Amino acid sequence: MTERFVMAVDQGTTSTRCILFDHRGRMVSVTQREHKQHFPKPGWVEHDAVEIWRNLERIAPEALAQAGITLDQVVALGITNQRETTVLWDRRTGEPIGRALVWQDTRTDTLVDEMSRRPDAGIVQERSGLPLATYFSAPRIRWLLDHVPGLDERAARGDVLFGTMESWLIWKLTGGPDGGVHATEVTNASRTLLMNLATLDWDEELISFFGVPRRILPEIRPSMGTYGTARRILPGVRIAAALGDQQAALFGQTCFAPGEAKCTYGTGSFLLLNTGNELVRSTHGLLSTVGYKIGQEPAVYALEGSIAVTGSLVQWFRDRLGIISTAAEIETLARTVDDNGGCYIVPAFSGLFAPYWRSEARGIIVGLTSYITKGHLSRAVLEATGWQTREVVDAMNADSGLALKELKVDGGMTADNLLMQFIADVLDVPVVRPMVAETVSLGAAYAAGLAVGYWPDLEVLRSNWHRAGQWLPNMDARHRDREYGNWRRAVERTFDWIQAPEEE
């Protein structure tokens, strides 16, 4: 019998990757292509959706060739993607309307300020589970409708389609203008500010709040279930699943039970906690979001804590201060001393995200004395990631009433043993690293394979998950409490730094 594989496409912020997985969840081949980041103005970040499509046209056949397999050996395709990035395109020609507006793009800040002053602004948080912020898609759609000449009329006529990246790729793969499927996946839809988190459908009042024409919106589908059969690039392959990238990592880490959580440590870090079929509304600064939805089963919800600056603080240390020459050297330097020497760094570079959401805060280094060395500063850099994780976990425990028992980690920073030990110490729970580092792609593959019966159930996926490393807490409780107190005092000192410009 010929061996069969599942393909995952990971359409990320900097690149698009295509990965094939075998039945035991092991990577068989990986191909990747970066796309250009466009920064036309300060705060603007754009991607070319056509370039991304062309990249997929190249890397998908390459992945098959690298594995030495043919298309008929691919049982299903799962797509995972950068969330909140907004694409509008012409239904007839298939041409995107300008470039895609990326999740990091903050051009909608004034618009969002205006919107949040409206008396009915409260419905946004109430219905979508998310704060009204530039991070999400709906203000970007509004911005495009306001700024692209004639677009409002074209959209009203039904000539324009909206989607996040998975919608764009599914539409293109299933035929584009020639019968393409216009659908979005529920975890992606849950990040638009337009979806009602309880009904999992577009909310008429949110749609009218943002003034988005109903006809441009795709149909919301479960994460797992058939989206259609590819007619281009991978003809005949069933598109069986899609998931937002952080949700895919939750799935790839097999966090299937309420109370299970994962944190992906990259430039920023994203901690997601499975809250089961219960929609938990955060009162502690977290985002309520859909974790995944399998076919017609009830949705599994999640709480998300987003930390803006973790790995990027190490990069700042490397690229701006030049204290280290590679990111990994932060650990070497930090190990030259035994503690932080009383020094704390709070990297509120563009304000603080979860659980504070203070946009006027700015970063600080406190506790400087003539005793402090590069080693102490390096410790403080790593500890900042640990304490920020602790604050998010505390908020999650308070919101969910579930006490975290173990944290599954992935992402580039998990190679740093000192950091992983510190996280275990400050959370006072074991931190575990899985053997497959590519949890985002693996999650998309798992979802697709599950949808077509390649894997029978969640238990089989669980049995594929293996511990590659584990760090156990080993810090005196009084010491931990004292340090946490110091960290929080440091955080308070970042507040109210940016003041409204004075009238001239």
Partner 1 sequence: MPGSIQSIERSAAILRLMARGSGRLGVGEIAHSLGLARGTTHGILRTLQHVGFVEQDGASGKYQLGAALLHLGTSYLDVNELRSRAINWADALAARSGEAVRIGTVLDGRVLVVHHVFRPDDTLQTLDVGTLLPLHATALGKILLAFDANVAAGRADDGDLEAFSRKTITSRHALSRALAQIREAGWADEVEELTVGEAGVAAPIRGYGGLLVGSIGVSGAVERVCDSKGRPNPALVAHVRDAARAVSRDLGASRW
- Site residues for partner 1 per CB under 8 A: 24, 26-27, 325-332, 412, 414-417, 435-437, 466-471
Token pair of 74 as six digits: 């691919």
Kindly give the residue spans of alpha helices, DSSP state H, lying in 15-129.
49-67, 109-116, 122-128
Rounded to the nearest whole angstrom, what is the least distance from the CB of residue 456 to partner 1 in the complex? 20
31-42: b (≥16 Cβ within 10 Å) or e? bbbebeeeeeee
Token pair of 161 as six digits: 């389609």
Number of neighbouring beta carbons within 10 Å of residue 328? 14
Rounded to the nearest whole angstrom, what is the least distance from the CB of residue 430 to partner 1 in the complex? 11
Rounded to the nearest whole angstrom, what is the least distance from the CB of residue 429 to partner 1 in the complex? 16
Rounded to the nearest whole angstrom, what is the least distance from the CB of residue 325 to partner 1 in the complex? 6
Rounded to the nearest whole angstrom, what is the least distance from the CB of residue 142 to partner 1 in the complex? 39
> Which CB sits closer to partner 1, 70 or 417?
417
Rounded to the nearest whole angstrom, what is the least distance from the CB of residue 193 to partner 1 in the complex? 36
> Which CB sits closer to partner 1, 326 or 370?
326
> Which CB sits closer to partner 1, 209 or 471?
471
- Looking at the DSSP bridge assignments, the partners of residue 185 are 221
Rounded to the nearest whole angstrom, what is the least distance from the CB of residue 467 to partner 1 in the complex? 5
- Residues 158, 91 contacting (CB under 8 angstroms): yes
> Which CB sits closer to partner 1, 130 or 424?
424
C-alpha to C-alpha distances, 427 to 233, 387, 394, nearest whole angstrom: 46, 9, 9
> Which CB sits closer to partner 1, 400 or 414?
414
- Residues 171, 99 contacting (CB under 8 angstroms): no
Nearest Cα to Cα of residue 309 among 264, 342, 279, 350? 350
> Which CB sits closer to partner 1, 214 or 466?
466
> Which CB sits closer to partner 1, 160 or 442?
442
Rounded to the nearest whole angstrom, what is the least distance from the CB of residue 441 to partner 1 in the complex? 13
Number of neighbouring beta carbons within 10 Å of residue 65? 12
- Distance (Å, rounded) from C-alpha 51 to C-alpha 180? 19
- Distance (Å, rounded) from C-alpha 298 to C-alpha 423? 33
- DSSP calls for 103-130: TT--TTHHHHHHHHTSGGGHHHHHHHSS
Rounded to the nearest whole angstrom, what is the least distance from the CB of residue 27 to partner 1 in the complex? 7
> Which CB sits closer to partner 1, 200 or 327?
327
The terminus-to-terminus CA distance of the chain in angstroms comes to 78
> Which CB sits closer to partner 1, 334 or 348?
334
Rounded to the nearest whole angstrom, what is the least distance from the CB of residue 59 to partner 1 in the complex? 18
- Distance (Å, rounded) from C-alpha 175 to C-alpha 228? 10
Number of neighbouring beta carbons within 10 Å of residue 450? 25
Nearest Cα to Cα of residue 460 among 451, 450, 448? 450
- Residues 216, 197 contacting (CB under 8 angstroms): no
Rounded to the nearest whole angstrom, what is the least distance from the CB of residue 24 to partner 1 in the complex? 8
C-alpha to C-alpha distances, 290 to 196, 251, 253, 275, 419, nearest whole angstrom: 11, 12, 16, 10, 29
> Which CB sits closer to partner 1, 287 or 424?
424
> Which CB sits closer to partner 1, 395 or 409?
409
User: Strand, coil or helix: what is 484?
Assistant: helix
